[in-house]
Amino acid sequence: MALHNTNPTTTIAWQKLQNHFQEMQNVSMSAMFEKDNTRTSQFHIQWNDFLVDYSKNIINQETLNLLLELANESQLKDSISKYFDGDGINQTENRAVLHTALRAAATANIKVDGENVIPEVFEVKSKIKTFTNEVVNGDRKGFTGKSFTDIVNIGIGGSDLGPAMVVEALQYYKNHLNVHFVSNVDGDHVNEIIKKLNPETTLFVIVSKTFTTQETLTNSETIREWFLKSAKQEDVAKHFVAVSTNLQRVTEFGINPDNVFPMWDWVGGRFSLWSAVGLSISLAIGFDNYNELLNGANEMDEHFKTEDFDKNIPVILALLSIWYNNFFGAESEALIPYSQYLQKLAPYLQQGFMESNGKSVDRNGKPVDYQTGTIIWGEPGTNSQHAFFQLIHQGTKLIPTDFIGFVKPLYGNEDHHDKLMSNFFAQTEALLHGKSAAKVQAEFDKQGLSAEKASFLLPFKVFSGNKPTNTILIQKLTPKALGSLVALYEHKIFVQGIIWNIFSYDQWGVELGKQLANSILDEINSKNVNSHDSSTEFLLNHFLKNK
Ligand code: F6P
């Protein structure tokens, strides 16, 4: 059944939110905290190992009630059922959206076209487990009889970002295998990786849902060519495995059909790390840890599916984001993990958020007359504090920010961790309260600064504060916690797409550039520049003349 189809701006809740915004836009969060010391107990959610404090937002109970009304008027509950039940909610591609089935229990019964997909999911999981154990234990050998030491994941977009992010994030749990990622069609990328490899002991995992992606095929061919300088054609089958839906193209490449890990068209690329696309994760951290990642995601799925909206983490975070995006006019959101391990989380989620909700046509095929997808960006704290925090504190743009931190460090270094976390807490407090002119003046007085100097410097040292933040404080960075965290953001994406009345699970916007690149490549190869706009022609001619 199709998703509902309502322009959110025509809902009663939206009209009420618009009026309510007039009252709230200049309200001081500090004042609200001062007035009501129950604010945090009202605006936080404790779930499993997660404590989500969203009290540092420009909201009151009425805001929340109206946002929840908007969710209800947008038929969110019904849409969630359709999402989890495998309805064809990716209507422009006529597909279900079932990454949640990949982490469901073995007893689940989730049907696509009348067929329960769970047995097949578990068959592939069991294949991943056997393969992982053979490689990790050294039982699976390369063409000279040596065990594998290095794994290379060749893929791009969803076939790279998820595994690369998770392998980086969970490196504390890693085994002896070195895992590399080749994604960019930039030949310097693949050559830098090849430099580190021994063909006798390297296993290549080609990940491409379609097996037609230019970058992945080009990199795979370059690597195979390099491999064949030391090995024979028949050795390809021992060193190359693939994750794909396109068995024909995979076997044409020379991969043994036994070494193909299938995936399904109901798994979107940017949500695919839970499928065999995560094979390099399983190889890096072992199958049990990989399975824990999936279990963590499944627990978040259950929370999202069953919890009342006012205590539902993905729903609340999605609604707050809509509040800023559509009423305050915020253009972007930052995501700041206070963990170096999570340095790839923001780039990974950029695909999730921006490929999904970067749409300007609604579910009627009509241009939207309101803002949709937010721009997501971020870097770990504390590094980011020394880079772009200046703009968040004192710039002209409103940037709602998620702070993600952990109670316990992995290596148990308390000194470092306490310093890290004191920054984590200090930043959200500073963003909330800012620093008033009176406080700045008091500091000047204490320092004995001359009146002239003080009056010159004062405006530069004032912080307006009132910058919204969410704090996600998790007990420890475990595979399970990471699984829950990623699933949280996946569901936030879903909720926003439902309310914005757009299709979140296609990505037609990446096609045009691909098509043009193909025809420009023909022109470069034939050294014959066709007619373009004068800028493109000028640049192409310069490139051809100087290459
Ligand atoms: O960027 C477009 C896209 O289709 C992504 O959605 C996908 O993750 C990526 O390309 C890679 O696609 P494939 O896995 O088919 O190679």
Is the CB of 158 inside a 6 Å radius of any atom of ligand 1?
yes
Q: Is the per-residue pLDDT at 1 higher than 80?
A: no
Chain center to CA of 168: 14
Residue 301 lies in a domain: no
Sequence-separated (6 or more) residues with CB below 8 Å from residue 63: 17, 20, 24, 323
Chain center to CA of 417: 25
Is the CB of 216 inside a 6 Å radius of any atom of ligand 1?
yes
Instruction: Verify whether residue 542 is a known catalytic residue.
Output: no
Residue tagged 């060749």 (tokens): 154
**DSSP H or E run through 80:** helix 76-85
**Residues 347 and 328 grouped into a single domain:** yes
**Residues 129 and 278 grouped into a single domain:** yes
**Residues 496 and 529 grouped into a single domain:** no
For range 169-189, the mean pLDDT:
98
Among protein residues, the one whose CA lies closest to atom 8 of ligand 1: 158
DSSP symbol at 54? -
Question: Is residue 398 helix, strand or coil?
Answer: coil
Last residue of a domain, one of 259, 290, 321: 290
Check: complex ipTM more than 0.95: yes
Task: Read off the pLDDT of residues 451-497 as tens digits, 9 standing for 90 and up.
Answer: 999 999 999 999 999 999 999 999 999 999 999 999 999 999 999 99
Among protein residues, the one whose CA lies closest to atom 4 of ligand 1: 269
In angstroms, the Cα distances linking 45 to 194, 303, 461 are 47, 12, 35
Residue 230 lies in a domain: yes
Q: Which domain holds residue 519?
A: 510-546
Q: Is the per-residue pLDDT at 521 higher than 80?
A: yes
**Residues 144 and 40 grouped into a single domain:** no
Is the CB of 163 inside a 6 Å radius of any atom of ligand 1?
no
Residue 219 pLDDT = 98
> Radius of gyration over alpha carbons of the chain, in Å?
26
Task: Read off the pLDDT of residues 403-442 as tens digits, 9 standing for 90 and up.
Answer: 999 999 999 999 999 999 999 999 999 999 999 999 999 9
Residue 356 CA, ligand 1 centroid: distance in Å = 12
**Residues 541 and 494 grouped into a single domain:** no
**Residues 270 and 372 grouped into a single domain:** no
Residue 398 falls in which region: left (phi positive, over 0), alpha (psi -120 to 50) or beta:
beta
Q: How many CA atoms lie within 13 A of 416 on its CB side?
A: 12
**Residues 134 and 268 grouped into a single domain:** yes
Please, what is the average pLDDT of the chain? 97
Residue 452 lies in a domain: no
Is the CB of 220 inside a 6 Å radius of any atom of ligand 1?
no
For range 128-144, the mean pLDDT:
98
**Residues 135 and 216 grouped into a single domain:** yes
* Short-list 358, 432, 449, CA closest to 54: 432
Residue 467 pLDDT = 98
Q: Which atom of ligand 1 is nearest to the CA of 270?
A: 8
* Short-list 378, 335, 332, CA closest to 358: 332
Q: Is the per-residue pLDDT at 286 higher than 80?
A: yes
* Short-list 70, 65, 40, 37, CA closest to 53: 40
Instruction: Verify whether residue 252 is a known catalytic residue.
Output: no
Q: Where residue 2 falls among pLDDT bands split at 50, 70, 90?
A: confident
Last residue of a domain, one of 247, 263, 290: 290
Residue 390 pLDDT = 98
| Given the residues 200, 355, 379, 490, the one annotated as active site | 355
Q: Are the CB atoms for 237 and 217 separated by under 8 Å?
A: no
Residue 21 lies in a domain: yes
Question: Is residue 282 helix, strand or coil?
Answer: helix
**Residues 215 and 319 grouped into a single domain:** no
Residue 90 lies in a domain: no
Task: Read off the pLDDT of residues 304-334 as tens digits, 9 standing for 90 and up.
Answer: 999 999 999 999 999 999 999 999 999 999 9
Task: Supply the CATH number for residue 319's domain.
Answer: 3.40.50.10490
Among protein residues, the one whose CA lies closest to atom 10 of ligand 1: 157
**Residues 397 and 253 grouped into a single domain:** no
Domain count, the chain: 3
Residue 408 lies in a domain: yes
